[in-house]
Amino acid sequence: MIEQAPVLIVVIPLIFAFITPLIGWGKKELCYPWIILALTLSTFCSVITLLTVINTGVIHYHLGGWLPPWGIEYVVDYLSAFVLVIVSFISLTVAVYSKKSVEQELPEKITYFYTIFLLQITGFLGIVVTGDLFNLFVFLEIASLAGYALIAVGEEGAPMASFRYVIMGTIGASFYLLGVGYLYMATGSLNMADLASLLPDLYGSRVVLVAFTFLIVGVAIKMALFPLHGWLPDAYEKAPSSVSALLAPLMTKVAAYVMIRIMFTVFRPYFSIEVFPITTTLSWIAAAAILYGALMALAQTDLKKMLVYILISEVGYLVLGIGLANKNGLTGTILHILNDAFMMVALFMIVGAIVYRCGTREISQFRNLHRKMPFTMAAFVIVGLSVVGIPPTCGFFSKWYLILGAIDASQWVLAGVLMLSSLLNAILFFRVIEYAYIEPRNEHDSGGESLVVTSEEAPLSMLIPIISVTAGVVLLGLVSGRIISTVIQFAVPACF
């Protein structure tokens, strides 16, 4: 049973997804416990896989007994096991959270919503677990197609946002596919480990350079790296609350994982650092993304739109660490995959809860929100501090490693950009906190003290995931040294 765990992580949500419509056909209310069951099993398998990797090393699983490089191989090493646990845990949290908001936003479509929800997670998990470039494309498209459908059922304007995402996403996927094709032309292999051993002799070849470019640009479109982020703000803003909470933390992180895989596993690290030097360019693009995201977020009056731009800036952090291409930078990126997934899921769930109770996302409408929803707003403050990067919350530690990485690479400007963005984030979050917490004094005694706001906290099924993830944000900060010493230091490519 345990040796089947790597494949079960993907197979369980896939099979459960196809049974969901049958269950929903009988009794709609059963869909929710059914997907919770699926994701619990999947999370359980990922945790087992991570523990196995820590105890016994890298797992190779040959599908159907076909040996690589001919058959499809699932490879779980430290990095993929780490991302697997993040993806499955976050999706479980969002699934628990989704009950009330889906009932409010999509009462007619619960069954199909949950079917596609599970397929989406299947795609994410498959991308992380596979060791085959073409298989990765298939999972990437499963995840993207499910994402298009989920976004399209959102509020006014969502279908158009989703359509733009379809166009951009297809360009990205086709570029990725072309890159894989060029690599296949040069080497005759699709297996990542096999490619890694065949490619170094061909690094001078122009076919390989073109392949690399296509792969990176394709993935950059999928992860919405500035300036290829055009599809993201509208799509994630207009999607239903629980869909934004699922996609925003995971799609970008999984794409960042793919980028790390391609740059440092399929190609040797020295390829992108010396042979075809793009790492420096990438880190400058990332710096631009960080500043652009933070500045655009400042201009928003809608909380969800603000978060979407913060997400673009967080993608910048991930790529910045990849671009620095040294030990501290990559440690920062991998740690940030974990931390940012937690922070983003918490923020988007909080917005969803506010929309559920108040029906508005305008920051200026948030007066007295701390009385109305005390726990949710407390969680918002804690996660906000983490995004700003205040210890002991987890956001501090990944930024710390990124800054160390920038200093190691003697890129003082990039270190400056990281600190500046913390400052901008502080402005962003304190603006919201000010509206929600600080009451205007002596406002012509109109409301005055007679203003009693009844507590209307979000329902428990929303509050429990929010609070547990917020507690996670603090806890992860406290144990981040331990996470680095048991997992992340082995996940960073050995040559750094």
Partner 1 sequence: MIDFIVSKYNYWIYIILMMIGFYAMIGKRNLIKKIIGMNIFQTAVILFYVSIGCKKGGTLPILEHAHGHAGQVIQASSYINPLPHVLMLTAIVVMVSTLGVAIAIVIMIYLKYNTLEEDEILKAIK
Name the segment binding partner 1 (CB under 8 A); options: 84-92, 134-142, 343-351, 382-390.
Answer: 134-142
Residue 106 or 291 having the CB closest to partner 1: 106
Q: Of 138, 291, 407, 426, which lies in the binding site for partner 1, with binding defined by CB under 8 A?
A: 138
Pick the closer one to partner 1 by CB: 182 or 380.
182
Residue 112 lies near partner 1 (rule: CB under 8 A): no
Options 21, 33, 157, 374; binder of partner 1; rule CB under 8 A: 157
Peptide bond just before 465 cis, omega within 30 deg: no
Rounded to 10 degrees, the C-alpha dihedral 375/120/249/10 comes to 100
Q: Which is nearer to partner 1, 173 or 324 (CB)?
A: 173
- The stretches of 206-326 forming alpha helices (DSSP H) are 206-223, 232-238, 241-261, 269-270, 279-298, 303-324
**Cα–Cα distance between 337 and 343 in angstroms, integer?**
10
Binding characters for partner 1, 270-299, by CB under 8 A (x = yes): ------------------------------
Amino acid identity, residue 481? G
Q: Is the distance from CB of 240 to CB of 150 less than 8 angstroms?
A: yes
**Residue of 12, 31, 118, 152 that binds partner 1 (CB under 8 A):** 152
Q: What's the min distance (Å) between Cβ of 470 and partner 1? A: 34
Grouping H, G, I as helix, E, B as strand and the rest as coil, residue 60 is: strand
The Cα-based distances of 385 to 422, 430, 431, 433 in angstroms read 10, 9, 13, 11
| Of 167, 423, 438, 460, the one binding partner 1 by CB under 8 A | 167
Return the SS3 of 456: coil
Residue 184 contacts partner 1 per CB under 8 A: yes
Q: How far is the CB of 158 from partner 1 (least distance, A)?
A: 9
Looking at beta carbons only, is 14 or 330 nearer to partner 1? 14
Of the candidates 495, 321, 317, the one whose C-alpha atom is nearest the C-alpha of residue 409 is 321
Phi, psi of 153 (to 5 degrees): -90, 10
> What radius of gyration, in Å, describes the C-alpha atoms of the chain?
22
Nearer to partner 1, 22 or 167 (CB): 167
- Gap between the Cα atoms of 280 and 324, Å rounded: 7
The only residue of 11, 51, 63, 178 in contact with partner 1, by rule CB under 8 A:
178
Does 150 bind partner 1 (CB under 8 A)? Our answer is no
Dihedral over alpha carbons 13, 19, 21, 25 (to 10 degrees): -140
Pick one of 77, 141, 302, 457: the residue that binds partner 1 (CB under 8 A). 141
Instruction: Enter the tokens of residue 105.
Output: 């936003």
State which residue, 144 or 421, has the beta carbon closest to partner 1.
Answer: 144
148 sits near partner 1 (criterion: CB under 8 A): yes
Report in angstroms how near the CB of residue 253 gets to partner 1 at its nearest. 23
Query: Toward partner 1, which CB reaches closer, 166 or 353?
Result: 166
C-alpha distance across the termini of the chain, in Å? 36
Provide, rounded to whole angstroms, the least separation between the CB of residue 281 and partner 1: 23
Angle at 270 between CA 269 and CA 272, to 5 degrees: 75
Residue in the block written with tokens 């507590």: 455
Q: Point out which residues bind partner 1 (CB under 8 A).
A: 134, 137-138, 141, 145, 148-149, 152, 156-157, 159-160, 162-163, 166-167, 170-171, 173-174, 177-178, 181, 184-185
